[in-house]
Structure 1
Amino acid sequence: MKTQKKSLLLFLLGISLLSACSMEVSKVADTAAPAAGIITATLYPTFTPRATATPMPATAIPTVEPVSGTVSAQINIRQSPSTASESVGMLGINSKVWIIGKDAQEKWYQIYFDFPDGERGEGWGAANYIQTAGKPDVPVVSSGGASTGEEDGNGIVTQQINIRTGPGISFDALGILNIGDGVTLIGKNPEGTWLKIEYASGEAWVFAAYIESDVIDDLPIPEDAVVMATEIAATAA
């Protein structure tokens, strides 16, 4: 009997010890060991550069729109807008030209044209003898110091004519004026059929029918014109 009690006590004592150990283990298990500290780098947002505006191409300066024209009479083409300028050639009637500029007085057009061999020529032609569908809308082009305006005189030649020493075809020819040439009128004969002009370093005469001018009626009759007219009349008689 004593032996049974002793065994029972030992059994109960063993159970108590096992329970105590189990509780201690549970307490240890419930207490989590501190996790090792992990240092994480802070990620900053990636920098996106602002798009640079693409430069706009420079605005192209518009070129002049050529205006087509037709030559109405044989004319000289000159290096600059003046009859004092050197002639670079002549264009015949009905020649095709393209107008790209004009002088300030609009008496001359800057033109280009095609030669028969396909080469392109350029120069200035008298505006009076270049016909267009309307008034050419072209810019004024600097004459580069050329003689223009009043220096071209107060009359324009409308037909190729001889320059003579006196008011009549019996007088010697000194030279020729071409269509579009400017002349300075300084007098006329009594009949008004011949006009006295400044020529080179002196004076000369041209047939009035081929000179266009607003001042012919107001021109004086110089004394030498009266004398010459008398001589011509006497010779004819």
Structure 2
Amino acid sequence: MKTRVIQRLFLALLIIGALVFAAVPVKAQIGQPYAQVTGVRAPVFAGPGTGFWQFGALRRNVITPISGVTADRQWWLSETPIGKGYLRAADVTVVGGESVPVVDPGVIGTITTGAANVRSGPGPEARSLNVIQKGSQFFVIGRQPDGSWIEIRYRYGTGWVKASLTSLGGGTSVSVPSTEGAVAIADSNSAKLYSGPGTQYVVIGTLTQGAVLPIIGRSTSGRWLYVRSDLGEGWLSANSAITRNYFGNAPIISAEETGAQEDFTAITRTGANVRTGPGLGFQSIGAVPGATEIFILGQSADKGWWYAETPVGTGWIAKSVVKTPRDFSKVAVIP
């Protein structure tokens, strides 16, 4: 009888010990501050905000370790059974939370318009990868030097969004790394830099193959790029360059804004006299042979004579003996 009592007592102690052991392991196994789900479920968000994507949810009473908290203490960072993410403070009860550090999630952006295209590069001509809706949140990982486009990490990977469609916040600073701006690379040793967007403008110089030129503007058609080079700022044909990080987003700049000067260089067909006035009755200041290069400065009112810079001086030369490479009708009339 006594033996049975002892056996029963021993069995009871074993059961009590097992129950105690079963109750303690969760905390003992975690060995650090933890959160316990108090509601029916607790969504796990990719970032500290309800606009971030969810990658799962924890059921009621699930316990998970926490490693950080946001500055406003509204979000707990946890290595949950379904991955590392953020839990809302309202969905969990936290034990030991006072000892966890404040985490900086980095710069967070939010779409503020109805929808925004996520593109493969920083510009309207870049391929659209996806569309994200108003209120969607994402991490900002880079930006264009002028701040017009930002690079983001969102639910489906990374991409670029127009900055004006977003608002930035979160983190300790809204400073984000600047990615390399749009550049053009001269693809030959014969690529020329012009003073305006076209071959009719004065040539500033010839570029070295491989020269990397920051793009600071473009023509209305997009066929000419306004670039910065060792020769100064000028226009480069898009056909003479390979572009990088450029998706048509450079501002449109007119030829007038850049001080473009048209090239009115012409060549004499035959030998000709250069005169003090627009007519055969004016005195000759000298003669130039055929195939001489002259620079046109103006034309006579009757459109029969060019006023030009020549090797023998500046004067008037008959149009009939001059070959022009294109239409020079816009040249100013000199009374």
TM-score (norm 2): 0.27
**Which structure has more RCO (C-alpha within 8 Å, separation ≥ 6)?**
1
Is the radius of gyration larger for structure 1 or structure 2? 1
Structure number having the greater strand percentage: 2
TM-score (norm 1): 0.36
